[in-house]
Amino acid sequence: MTQHHNPIPIPPDDPRDLLASYALGATAPDESARVEAYLRDHPEAKAEVAEYAAAATLFSADVPLREPPAALRQKLLDSVRSQPPTRVSPKLVLPTTGKPPVIPSALPSGGSAKRTLFPAAALAWFSTAAAVALLVMNVFWMSQVNDLRQRQAALEAENLAQQAQVASLERASQEQITDAVTIMVTGSKAELMDDTGESRAMVMWQPGDTEAVMFTHSLPALDDSRTYQLWLIDSEGNPISAGTFTVDGDGRATLMFNAETAIDAFDALGISVEPAGGSTAPTTQPLAVSAL
């Protein structure tokens, strides 16, 4: 007769024993959650986490030294000349009614599947609609802000580390959340609306910065053969992909993206439905757009 033995359950580690690993980002998600709960109840332990993280940077002094490429210095300086440093001053970007985004007229040659996007008929409505919608921060967006603020509170240990100039204490995803919260609190905003004037997404960024975060709301779910794609439209009407995304059961998605130039420099934003994997240029009518 076979005798089955139940495995002896392993008790979870004491959160205090995980502080060092947490500071390195080596903890599993469930362990991180327990450490964060512990830090909320024991704020005095946050300093210990920050000290672990700071102490770990000493290892950087022991790496083999390498010279960076000589051209990198000039590349960096050329890059910053194209963008001023980010300022903390909040700014609400309202759509400009006198400067609608340019409709792309030149399509890549040979791209038979690529069709014109954002035709004038689809764009004509959004200046007025965007102006109205942007002036009304509706309940959804407030809930988004509150939700992220709650998540920010849950990442209190990381914030401490930032305050201690150790930046982030956990995985990079947490750093991204903090970035997103920073952008939401201090950044510029643009709301993307559909052709009924209903808000579908909001994009937020720091003035002058190339990094932004987008939240969607009530977008229809897509089958596996299609994906949503966010586009930045430059001053000449050229669409630049900011990334593809899918939505959850409530039509929500969060997308952080980096543009090659400051977000402010673009004229418009749009979301289109594309084949799975995304497209090099929009192939369908935009379902939500906003001027910048």
Q: How many chain residues are in contact with other proteins, going by CB under 8 A?
A: 59
Nearest to 198 by CA among 184, 214, 212, 217: 217
CB of 125 to other proteins, least distance (A): 35
Q: Cα separations (Å) of 10 from 4, 7, 17, 31?
A: 18, 9, 15, 14
Counting every residue written for the chain, the total comes to: 292
Kindly state the DSSP code that residue 235 receives in the 8-state scheme.
T
Per-residue binding letters, 188-217, with other proteins (x by CB under 8 A) = ------------------x-xx--------
CB of 244 to other proteins, least distance (A): 13
**Binding-site member from 1, 8, 77, 113 for other proteins (CB under 8 A):** 77
**Binding-site member from 34, 36, 46, 52 for other proteins (CB under 8 A):** 52
Torsions phi, psi of 91, nearest 5?
Answer: -145, 130
Structure tokens at 277: 């994997």
Contact 49, 157 (CB under 8 A): yes
| Gap between the Cα atoms of 210 and 254, Å rounded | 17
**Binding-site member from 41, 44, 67, 224 for other proteins (CB under 8 A):** 67
76 forms part of the interface with other proteins (CB under 8 A): yes
| Gap between the Cα atoms of 16 and 34, Å rounded | 10
| For other proteins, the closer CB: 91 or 114 | 91
| For other proteins, the closer CB: 138 or 163 | 163
Q: What counts of helices (H) and strands (E) characterise the chain?
A: 9, 8
CB of 58 to other proteins, least distance (A): 5
State which of positions 152-191 bind other proteins (CB under 8 A).
Answer: 161-168, 172, 175
| For other proteins, the closer CB: 94 or 164 | 164
CB of 158 to other proteins, least distance (A): 11
**Binding-site member from 33, 37, 88, 135 for other proteins (CB under 8 A):** 88
33 forms part of the interface with other proteins (CB under 8 A): no
| For other proteins, the closer CB: 211 or 267 | 211
Locus of tokens 């700014």: 91
Structure tokens at 58: 């000493």
| Gap between the Cα atoms of 154 and 147, Å rounded | 11
What residues are paired with 215 via a beta bridge?
202, 254
CA atoms within 13 A on the CB side of 139: 0
Instruction: Quickly count: other Cβ atoms within 10 Å of residue 251's Cβ.
Output: 14
State which of positions 225-284 bind other proteins (CB under 8 A).
Answer: none
28 forms part of the interface with other proteins (CB under 8 A): yes
Binding site for other proteins (CB under 8 A): 13, 17-18, 20-21, 23-28, 31, 48, 51-69, 72-73, 75-77, 79-81, 83-88, 161-168, 172, 175, 206, 208-209
